[in-house]
Amino acid sequence: MKVDNDAVATLREASLDKFVGGIWEQIYGGIDLDPQSILEQWQAAASAASATDAPPQTIREHPAALNLSTSGLLPATAFPADVSGSFNQSNILCRKVTQASRTFRSIEVVVQARWIEHFEAYVKTLAASNPSTSVTKHRKAALLEACQDFSWTDKDLRNRMRIWSGYKEIKDAGGWAALVFAGMGIYRFCKYRVGFDADSMQTLQTLRPRLEVAADTLHPNWRRLLAVVGEPTERRFTGHPHDWVVFPCGAAVSDPIPLRSTYLGRDPLFSFEHLDESIVDVHAWGGDDPRYVPPLPPTTTTTTTAATYPRPTSTYTCRTCHQVQSDDPKLNNCFCFPSLFGSGPRAASPVQIFRTSNGRNNGLQALVPFERGAAVGEFVGLVTRGLQDVDVFNGAAGSRPYQIWQGRQGNYTRFVNHSCRPNAQFQSFVWMGAERIVLRT
């Protein structure tokens, strides 16, 4: 049988890319990996048990101790009159259990990776104490001793050790962050080991500082999980995720450097404030916002070839999809750019500022694939006018031109570089009566 080496290589790359993509999605997905909240839940359960002079019981037996109303567990047909309140309680219960399960899963793989290290160290100790016996026999003796403690068969433990060894290899290459934030695919990746080779581990090693800076800045408490195996819990990186500039794979320098340090050669007084929303320059515009766009005339019906359907009137109607716009997700019907507008607080965009290798200073790199037409972020900064000889975005709402300057305030969209083969573009979009500039793929 002839093996298609190109197909095998493609499968390996796809497997690794999927695994790494899962790590980035977990880091930027808004999960909560704070072990303190889990500890407080256990303490609350223990306090509830001691208050009744009852023997220690589990969290499952004390849902009230966790502020988890038992009504959240009722069958859907048994909801009381307050259906909305019961549904919200069920949401909270499911969220807490899911977060706790995710946290314990991270602790599990951390402990299992460390156990492999203890096993190997124990085998070396046995071999040093009795060098006349082969290492293979010492490993067998250590394995049988562990089987007794685990109450597992030799076969069961061997099968698990193969997977746990994969966890350790991932930790050794990509650091603890790669292990803690790995998605559910880590089990399959380590079990079947498709693409699990030296090249893959080298790739993880080059990504290690980038994973750590994202994990430390977005999840300040994640390293507390490492206390269970005696690892340091202090963060290496603090501040905003985009206070740091990372280096591409293969660069001579690997550790991220402060953003400010990359501009001191040009501007010794450089400073940059990260914004979520643009700020209107009151010295240029007073109390006015030049981005204001008059609302569309109210329309109460939408005519189709089949029938006429009523449509709610609204002060803010999208000029693209003609649906109601609102900052309240329950009222909003415009989903042109749901990651930016109308879906609640914005999540961190999975992008990093990186140091270019062709003399263009810094650039912006996506960490996960973006669908075509999806928003990468909003171009925000100081909304002003009259600036010259500096880089600005020139916009115009109607007949009033304005400028957005990101020299001292803005966000990561400042670092998008020009390309003759662009994969993103800026687009004007009116949201609730104000023109916004969206970076989209």
pTM: 0.84
pLDDT at 97: 85
H-type helices in 219-358, by residue range? 282-285
pLDDT at 183: 85
C-beta separation of 300 from 280 below 8 A: no
pLDDT at 89: 86
SS3 of 401, please? strand
pLDDT at 299: 59
Alpha-carbon distance of 169 to 197, in angstroms, equals 10
Alpha-carbon distance of 313 to 238, in angstroms, equals 46
State which residues of the chain have pLDDT below 70. Answer: 1-13, 37-84, 250-253, 298-314
Pair type for strands 382-384 and 279-280: parallel
Tell me what the pLDDT averaged over the chain comes to.
Answer: 86
pLDDT at 247: 93
Could you give all domains of the chain from N- to C-terminal order, each with its CATH number?
5-238 (no CATH), 273-440 (2.170.270)
pLDDT at 45: 54
Work out the burial of residue 296: count CB atoms within 10 Å of its CB; fewer than 13 is exposed, 13-18 middle, 19 or more buried: middle
Q: Which residues make beta-bridge pairs with 246?
A: 354
**Amino acid letter at 260?**
R
pLDDT at 212: 98
Alpha-carbon distance of 246 to 366, in angstroms, equals 12
Tell me the pLDDT tens digit for each residue of 197-240.
999 999 999 999 999 999 999 999 999 999 999 999 999 999 99
pLDDT at 65: 43
